[in-house]
Amino acid sequence: MIRFLYGIIFTLAFALAAIVAGVYLGALPAGADAKAPGLERWAARTSLHAAIDREDVAYKNPLQPTDDNLVAGANLYGAHCAVCHGTSDGKASTLAKGFYIKAPLLATDGVEDDPENETYWKLDHGIRFSAMPAFGKTLTSEQLWQLTMFLGHMDELPPAADAAWKKLPSATVTPAP
Ligand code: HEC
């Protein structure tokens, strides 16, 4: 029994030493142009979904998807999201092309089928280990719901909101200095 315990302790100590050595030797990929290993992707995604399932029941959308709210959502998207998630042409910005964890281009790879509470949670808290920021402290709850509804209705926008969405300049355009 005691040998078995020593075996476990030795193995754990060896694994820990190998990780620490890997960190000091720079053997762990540190650049953003590396591909995320499967284990890392699995751990990040599984814990994200578990956290959302546990916490998103607390949210309740107080707004209706009116023209005004969807137009406001499109404009907020242009100001805060387009640089990473692109606009209606579905093209990535220079910045977005360099991410370690790629940001989905929401015009073509949208989240219309996701429950509203799940999208709201992501906007409120952001997504750890990725470039997705937490907007809970910078935008109001009303603005977050407007964005959430805009994303949820992207494939069936009423004319006013569709016009506001199509008017957003391509994310590939470099802003004037
Ligand atoms: C600096 C870059 C950046 C900005 C700005 C940004 N995001 Fe993200 N976003 C990301 C990245 C990267 C991911 C992918 C994270 C992942 O896959 O784990 C992401 C993921 C998401 C997702 C989840 C997509 C899915 O398929 O599950 C949603 C929804 C989202 N962002 C909405 C927004 C909205 C709305 C805004 C603006 C208020 C915004 N993002 C601003 C980088 C950004």
In order along its 177 residues, the chain shows pLDDT tens digits of 888 999 999 999 999 998 899 889 888 788 888 888 899 999 999 999 999 999 988 889 999 999 999 999 999 999 999 999 999 999 999 999 999 999 999 999 999 999 999 999 999 999 998 999 999 999 999 999 999 999 999 999 999 999 999 999 999 976 656
What is the reported pLDDT for 28?
79
Q: How many Cβ atoms are within 10 Å of 99's Cβ, its own excluded?
A: 15
Distance (Å) from CA 46 to ligand 1 centroid: 17
Round to whole Å and give the CA distance between 73 and 71.
5
The answer to whether 92 and 172 have CB atoms below 8 angstroms apart is yes
Q: What pLDDT score was predicted for residue 176? A: 59
Residue nearest to atom 10 of ligand 1 (CA): 132
Q: Which atom of ligand 1 is nearest to the CA of 148?
A: 35
Ligand 1 mutation pick, 41, 49, 56, 85, max ligand atoms within 8 A of CB? 85
Identity at 77, one-letter amino acid code: Y
Pick from 153, 122, 150, 146: nearest CA to 136: 122
- Whole-angstrom distance, CA of residue 90 vs CA of residue 73: 18
Residue 35 has phi, psi (to 5 degrees) of -95, 135
Say what the pLDDT of residue 23 is.
86
Distance from residue 109's CA to the centre of ligand 1 (Å): 11
Report residues whose beta carbon is within 6 angstroms of any ligand 1 atom: 77, 80-81, 83-85, 99, 101, 103-104, 111, 119, 122-123, 127, 130-133, 135, 147, 151
Q: How far from chain centre, in Å, is Cα 149?
A: 16
Ligand 1 centroid to residue 103 C-alpha, Å: 6
* Cα(6) to centroid(ligand 1), Å: 46
- Residue position matching structure tokens 């814990």: 47
**How far is ligand 1, taken at its centre, from the CA of residue 159, in Å?**
25
